Amino acid sequence: MALNIALIGYGKMGREIEAVAEQRGHRIAARVGREGMEAHDWTGVDVAIEFTQPDAAFANVEALLAQGIPTVCGTTGWFARVPELDCSQTPLVYASNFSLGVNIAFQVNRYLAELMAPHSDYRAEIEEIHHTAKKDAPSGTAITLAEGILAANPALNGWALQPGVPDNALPIHAVRKDPVPGTHTVTYDSAVDQLSLTHVAHSRAGFALGAVLAAERIGALSSGSHTFASLLFPPAR
């Protein structure tokens, strides 16, 4: 079914989402840039896709949910505030990364962490590389990878950004370099060998496709907040 989609944030990512959405037969009902949401008419909007900045995302999503508009949010750096939102009447789908490949990597990362946890001679660390326009560091994707490792390894006491990481913490190294869309590597290093899991994004197209897929599926969800991973990998019944 064709959807009327509102794009909140009309920069490079917004334009990429627009291209993918139109290729899949959807209509862009609103394109919200620096003029803000108040300048637009929301009549007939089926779903909103929000990709802006961490300091703007909460207010944007809150306003959309208040109007009863199902919302897909890919802005990172604010997810600790998701529980503050009223999603009791309208569904929200959010993710640190909407790439299908990254979400598969999340699943593999958790399984790999379970396998590696008993082997204390391996030191885990994460490196993430992004373009210089990215505001948050570490990336939301790196934090999700870290959470998967920490859940499986009680010997690690949280994560910390390099440099100056305590011995019992998981190091994350954040690099900003143009024109990299996003590269994430989890490494386990020991005195005898090294094992790595890497995802390399070649463009923003993968993120855009995932966001549009979430928009297509959100209408079947119950109210409340949902992760994109829960749509892709629902629990076995």
How far is residue 49's CA from residue 17's CA, in Å, rounded to a whole number?
Answer: 9
- Longest C-alpha distance within the chain, in Å? 62
The catalytic position among 12, 40, 119, 134 is 134
Catalytic residue among 26, 130, 199, 226: 130
Is the CB of residue 174 less than 8 Å from the CB of residue 142?
A: yes
Dump the DSSP string for 2-64.
--EEEEE--SHHHHHHHHHHHHTT-EEEEEE-TT-GGGS--TT--EEEE---HHHHHHHHHHH
The verdict on whether 130 is a catalytic residue reads: yes
Is 177 in the active site?
no
146 within 8 A of 126, measured Cβ to Cβ: yes
Positions marked active-site = 130, 134
